[in-house]
Structure formats: C-alpha cells, structure tokens
Amino acid sequence: MKVVIWDWNGTLLDDVDVSIDIGNKILAKRGLPRLEKEWYKQHFVFPTEAFYGSLGFDFEKDSFKKLSREFAVRYLPSTLRLHLHEGTQGTLEKLRQMGLRQLILSASEKHLLRFQVRHFKIRDYFEEILGVDDNLGAGKEEIARRWLAAADVPPDEVVFIGDSTHDKEIADIIGCRCILIPQGHMAKERLAATGAQVCDCIGEVPEMLRRMEGQDR
C-alpha cells in the first residue's frame, strides 16, 4: 500500500452540522420539514440531487443548479468557523511518517477546496488536491481514474478513505481498498453494511492501515 486518497467533507472536515443547518434554512424557505441529524445520517445519499429530491424539492420550480448555488452562498461564509475532526493532523503526520503518499479527492468545487485546505494549514501533507469545476456535487470516480493513470499507480496500492457508501462505490469502481469513518455524513451501520473496513474515528486509521498491510504479507 503506497497511496491514501482522502475524501474531504465529513471525513477530514467536520461540516455535517453546518450542512444540516444550511439545508434546514433552504427547506424552511420552501415550507418543507426540517432535518434532524440522526435522520440525516440514516438517509443522506449521493447524488445530492436525489437526496434533495426525496425531501420534496420541486426541481421544475427550483432547478438543482439554483439550489446548489444557494447552498454554496450560505456555505462559503461558514468555512472559517468549521473545524477538522479531532486527531486529523496527527493522523496525517503518522501516515507521512509511514511513507504513504496522500491526496484529497472531493466533489467540492476545487477553488473552495484548496482554500479550505490552506486555511487549516495541512496543505503540505498532500501531493494533490483534486476537486471539481462547479458546486453541483459531481462524481469523483473519473477524477480518480485520471489521477491514477497519470501517476501510473496500480489501484491495489491505493486505499480510499471516506465517510459515505458512495466512497465505497468509488473505491470498488477504481479497484482499490476502502476505509470508512462514521464521524461524517452517514451512520456507522450503513457504512459497515458496504463490507468496507470501518474506523470509529480518524485516529484509528494508522493502525487500521498497518493491519491491512500485514494481511497482504
């Protein structure tokens, strides 16, 4: 194992409460029921358009593009009051000491993503910061494929670390291993049902990686 690909939102960045709060403001504006955190973690899905559609949004009246812009406008000012999950920097340092290459792969808009990573002073841990060109929550699998091809990295040398069932799907598509962490946008039982390795918190990741490496020998 040589490369760790990190998801950002919910995995390294603790933005679940802020995301729910913004979602509730958007829902209230349209007279739709509010989200509760436990329910959200049990029901949130990708693509995000499908999730918001399930909440009662009428995309004939409000396009998903408009909704995404509204979310982004509210989300951006919150960036400076967000935090990384406890233990994030220590974990990144341990992985660097283990000799692992690290990068971030996110469906966040790439300029916002790079701003956030610099703001939290963790840019030096990552070889690449890979985001998308808009705020629509587009897929990450093609970005991952392109990076692996350009870097000439075999998928069996990669582990993808995320906080959602979609991250496991991406890992399966590109053919790499996966670790999921339930501190983010989905509940632990949903993550465990994917068959992925599950850590209770980000601080457990280095030991999990050591165990996975030992199983390969």
| For residue 134, pLDDT beyond 70 | no
Instruction: Work out the number of other CB atoms within 10 angstroms of the CB of residue 8.
Output: 22
3-state SS, residue 129:
strand
pLDDT at 101: 97
| For residue 136, pLDDT beyond 90 | no
pLDDT in tens, 70-94: 999 999 888 888 999 999 999 999 9
Average pLDDT over residues 133-140: 58
pLDDT at 145: 87
CA 127 to CA 99: how far, in whole Å? 12
| For residue 192, pLDDT beyond 90 | yes
| For residue 138, pLDDT beyond 60 | no
Residue 135's pLDDT band (cuts 50, 70, 90): very low
pLDDT at 137: 45
CA-based nearest residue to 182, from 172, 194, 173, 170? 194
Better-scored residue on pLDDT, 68 or 135: 68
Q: What's phi and psi for 197, nearest 5 deg? A: -70, 140
Q: What is the mean pLDDT of the chain?
A: 92
CA atoms within 13 A on the CB side of 157: 12
pLDDT in tens, 147-177: 999 999 999 999 999 999 999 999 999 999 9
Measured at the CA of 109, the angle between CA 105 and CA 113, to 5 degrees, comes to 60
- Helix axis angle for 88-97 and 205-215, nearest 10°, is 30
